[in-house]
Structure 1
Amino acid sequence: MAEWYAGKGRLAASFFFFRGAGRRSTVDGFATTLAHQIALNVPGARKFFEAIIQDPHVGHSSRSLHSQLQSLIYTPLLQCMEEGDCPREDPYLLVIDGMDECDDKEAISVEEHIRTHVEDGAAVIRLLDLSSRSHRADVEYAMKVTFANARKHSRVFQSLGHTWPAQNELDALLDYCDGSFIFMSTIARFILWGLGNDDPRTPKERLSLALKNTPGIDSVYTDVLSRASGIPHFHTIISTVVYLKTPLSIAALAALLGLETYEAVRVLVTLQTIL
C-alpha cells in the first residue's frame, strides 16, 4: 500500500515498527522520521518543517510522544494547509504499522486510542475487516511463490521437484491457514528452514509435522507470550481464557478470578494482537 501511494506521489510518510531492530523497536526517532519524510514528500511543506526544527528540543526523546507529534507533525502541516501551497484535492497517506512490535508500550498505546475513537463513534474512523478480504486464492498464490523462490535459490529444494509440496498437501496447509497470511508465512518458513540451523529434520519431515498441525509451527506467538508472562496474574488469566467454553467480558473474567478489572486489562491488552 505504501509503495502504491508512493508511486502515485501521494505517500506523506511511512514507519514500520520492528522488534529487535534498534530504534525501529522504540518511539525514539519515530516523530522526527515522519516529519523528515513529510517535509520531503508533501509539496510546499518543507519550509514549515524547517522552521519548527530550529528548536533543538522539539524532537528530544525526553518529550512525550504526544508532544512531539503535536509540534513536529500537526503544527507544521496545519500551517502548510493554511498558509502554503499544500495540495488538497487528493489526500496524502501516512502509513504506520507494527505497533505491537514497539517495545515502548506506554508511549505508543495507539491501539487503545484507536479503540476509544471507534467506540466513541467518531466519523473520521473507518474500520476495515481485512480478514474478510484475505481470500484463499491469494494465500495459495503467496504460498506457491514462497516455495518457488526457495527452489530458485537452493538445490536442496530443487531436488524435491517442482510439484513439491503436492496440491493435496497445499490444500491441507491452506485449510489450516484459514485465510491468514501470517500463518501461511510461518508454516512455509517452518517447512523450508525449520526452527534454526541446528534443526536436523528434512523439509519433507517438517512438512509431515506441519500437516499434523503440531504446535512447533506456532512459534510466531512465543515471543509475545513470553514478554507478557512476567505480568502479575498472567498464568491465571491466560489459562482461564483457554479453558472457558464461552468467552466472558473482561469485567466478568476479573470477577471470576477475584481480581480487579484493571489487573485483567493489564494482561489482556498486552496479548490483544493474538487473542
Structure 2
Amino acid sequence: MTELIRQYYALLSSPANLLTLPLGDLADSINIPLISVLLFGLIGAVAPCQLSTNVAALAFLSRRAADSQRMWAQTLAFVLGKMTVYLLIGGVIVLLGWQIDQVSRTAIPVIIFTRRAMGPLLIVVGLLMLGIFQSRLSIGDRLSSWLEEKARERSGIIPSYLLGAAFAFAFCPTLFWLFFGLTIPLAIASTGGIIFPGIFAIGTALPVLGLAWLLTSGAVNMSQFIARFKAADVWIQRGAGIIFLLVGLNEIILYWIL
C-alpha cells in the first residue's frame, strides 16, 4: 500500500520535475534577484502541494467566470491574500535577519500541522458546496440575513482574500525550501528585499491568474454563453464541490498516509 502511494506521489511530481529543472536553470542564469524570486514562486506553483491548492482556488473563483470584472476582483483578492501572508512572514524574517536554520526548526511543526489540516478542511468545504450537509449556527435569523447581505455587498472579495491567506499557509517541503532556503536569503542580501516574499507569492499564483484570464477572455461579449453559464450555476457549484473533495482526498493521501 505504501509503495502504491509513493508511486502515486511520483506520478503527481512528474509534471513538476519537467518544469523545475529548466526554470531552475533559468533562475540561476538571471542576475536580477527580483526575477529569480518570481521564478522560484513559479517553480513552487507546479509542485504537487501547490497544484492542489491552485486547482481548488480556481474551482472556487470560476463560479463567477460569467462576470469577468467580478471574477477578476475575486482573483486579485485571492492573490492579495497570499501576498499578505508571505509579506508578513517573510518580512519579519528579513527585517530581523533570522538565521535560516533557526527558522526551519521552529516552522516545520507548523507546516506539518497546516498540511494535515488542509485535507479535512477541503473535504468539509466540498461537502458544504455539494449541499450534503449545512452549517447550522444558532445565531438568529436577523444576524444570518445581515451576514448574507454583507457577503453580497462585498461580492465575494473578502472570502476570496481569506481563501488566499489560508492557502498561503499550505507549505510543503518543496515550497518550504524555495521560500525559506532560496528566497529569504536572497531577500536578506538584496536591497529592497522586503518585497521579495510578495513577489514569490505572485509567482505561486501565476497559474491561477493565467487560467482566470483564459476563462474570462472566453466568456466576454458572449451573452448567450453567459446566460447558459448563469443557468448552470448549480452544476458549477456541485462541480467545484467535487473538485474540493478530490483535492482534499489527495491532501490526506499525501500528508496523512504517505
Structure with higher RCO (Cα < 8 A, 6+ apart): 2
Structure number with the higher helix fraction is 2
- The TM-score bracket by the shorter chain reads under 0.3
TM-score by length of 1: 0.23
